Structure 1
Amino acid sequence: MEGEISIKSEDEPVPIKIGIIGEAGLDTPIVLTDRMEYAVCTPFGKPSDILIEGQIEGVKCALLSRNGRLHDIMPSNVNYRANIWAMRKLGCTHLLVTHTVSSLRENIQPGSIVVPHDIIDNTTRRAQTFYDGAVGSPFGVCHVPMYPAFCDRTRQHLVTAAKELQLTTHSQGTVLTLEGPRYSTVAENNMYRKWGADLLSMTLCPEAILAKEAGILYGSLSLVTNKECWCANQPIATTHEIIYIYKKQVDTLQKVLVNAIQSIGKEDWSEDILKAKILVCSNFANRNQ
Structure 2
Amino acid sequence: MNDTVIGVIGGSGIYEIEGLEGSEWVAVDTPWGEPSDRILTGSLNGVRMAFLPRHGRGHVHSPTTVPYRANIDALKRLGVTDVVSVSACGSFREEMAPGDFVIVDQFIDRTFAREKSFFGTGCVAHVSVAHPTCARLGAVAAEAAEAAGAKVHRGGTYLAMEGPQFSTLAESRMYREVWGCDVIGMTNMPEAKLAREAELCYASVAMITDYDSWHPDHGEVDVSEIIRTLMGNAEKGRALAAGLPGRLSGERAACGQGCDRALDHAILTRPEARDPEFVAKLDAVAGRVL
TM-score (normalised: structure 1): 0.88
Instruction: Name 1:38's counterpart in structure 2.
Output: 26
Q: How many angstroms apart in 2 are the aligned matches of 1:210 and 1:145? A: 11
Instruction: Please say if residues 57 and 258 of structure 1, whose CA atoms lie closer than 8 Å, have aligned partners that are also in contact.
Output: no
Unaligned 5+ runs, structure 2: 273-290
Q: 1:190 aligns with which of 167, 173, 191?
A: 173
Unaligned 5+ runs, structure 1: 1-12, 134-138
Deviation, 1:166, is 4.4
Q: Does 1:125 align with 2:108?
A: no
Deviation, 1:220, is 1.3
Instruction: Name 2:45's counterpart in structure 1.
Output: 57
Q: Does 1:272 align with 2:252?
A: no
Instruction: Name 1:282's counterpart in structure 2.
Output: 265
Aligned length: 271
Instruction: Name 2:284's counterpart in structure 1.
Output: none
Deviation, 1:217, is 0.5
Deviation, 1:91, is 0.7
Deviation, 1:274, is 9.7
Deviation, 1:104, is 0.9
Instruction: Please say if residues 24 and 69 of structure 1, whose CA atoms lie closer than 8 Å, have aligned partners that are also in contact.
Output: no
Code of the residue aligned with 1:190 in structure 2: it is R
Q: Does 1:150 align with 2:105?
A: no
Q: How many angstroms apart in 1 are the aligned matches of 2:150 and 2:11? A: 20
Instruction: Name 2:150's counterpart in structure 1.
Output: 167
Q: How many angstroms apart in 2 are the aligned matches of 1:109 and 1:15? A: 37
Deviation, 1:276, is 2.6
Q: How many angstroms apart in 1 are the aligned matches of 2:7 and 2:67? A: 16
Instruction: Please say if residues 216 and 273 of structure 1, whose CA atoms lie closer than 8 Å, have aligned partners that are also in contact.
Output: no
Code of the residue aligned with 1:218 in structure 2: it is Y
State the superposition RMSD in angstroms: 1.8
Instruction: Please say if residues 23 and 71 of structure 1, whose CA atoms lie closer than 8 Å, have aligned partners that are also in contact.
Output: no
Instruction: Name 1:247's counterpart in structure 2.
Output: 231
Deviation, 1:221, is 1.5
Q: 1:228 aligns with which of 212, 229, 253?
A: 212
- What SS is found at the alignment partner of 2:70? helix
Deviation, 1:128, is 0.8
Q: How many angstroms apart in 1 are the aligned matches of 2:164 and 2:144? A: 31
Q: How many angstroms apart in 2 are the aligned matches of 1:274 and 1:149? A: 10
Deviation, 1:247, is 1.6
Task: Select between 73-82 and 34-43 the one with higher mean Cα deviation.
Answer: 34-43
Deviation, 1:251, is 1.7
Q: How many angstroms apart in 2 are the aligned matches of 1:208 and 1:29? A: 21
Code of the residue aligned with 1:195 in structure 2: it is W
Superposed CA deviations along residues 19-62 of structure 1, whole A, max 9, x for unmatched, are: 11112542346242211221111111000000111012221001
Instruction: Name 1:8's counterpart in structure 2.
Output: none
Q: How many angstroms apart in 2 are the aligned matches of 1:274 and 1:244? A: 37
- What SS is found at the alignment partner of 1:143? coil
Instruction: Name 2:276's counterpart in structure 1.
Output: none
Instruction: Please say if residues 24 and 70 of structure 1, whose CA atoms lie closer than 8 Å, have aligned partners that are also in contact.
Output: no
State the percentage of identical aligned residues: 32
Code of the residue aligned with 1:30 in structure 2: it is E
Instruction: Please say if residues 108 and 160 of structure 2, whose CA atoms lie closer than 8 Å, have aligned partners that are also in contact.
Output: yes
Q: Does 1:87 align with 2:63?
A: no
Instruction: Please say if residues 16 and 51 of structure 2, whose CA atoms lie closer than 8 Å, have aligned partners that are also in contact.
Output: no
Instruction: Please say if residues 104 and 230 of structure 1, whose CA atoms lie closer than 8 Å, have aligned partners that are also in contact.
Output: yes
Superposed CA deviations along residues 224-257 of structure 1, whole A, max 9, x for unmatched, are: 0000111111143322321222122212111122
Instruction: Name 1:75's counterpart in structure 2.
Output: 63
Code of the residue aligned with 1:23 in structure 2: it is G
Q: How many angstroms apart in 2 are the aligned matches of 1:256 and 1:273? A: 23
Q: Does 1:259 align with 2:243?
A: yes
Q: How many angstroms apart in 2 are the aligned matches of 1:66 and 1:244? A: 20
- What SS is found at the alignment partner of 2:244? helix
Superposed CA deviations along residues 51-110 of structure 1, whole A, max 9, x for unmatched, are: 111012221001111011010111001100000000001110010110100001112111
Instruction: Name 2:86's counterpart in structure 1.
Output: 98
Q: How many angstroms apart in 1 are the aligned matches of 2:260 and 2:220? A: 43
- What SS is found at the alignment partner of 1:280? coil
Task: Select between 233-242 and 272-281 the one with higher mean Cα deviation.
Answer: 272-281
Q: How many angstroms apart in 2 are the aligned matches of 1:45 and 1:31? A: 29
Instruction: Please say if residues 50 and 64 of structure 1, whose CA atoms lie closer than 8 Å, have aligned partners that are also in contact.
Output: yes
Instruction: Please say if residues 17 and 242 of structure 2, whose CA atoms lie closer than 8 Å, have aligned partners that are also in contact.
Output: no
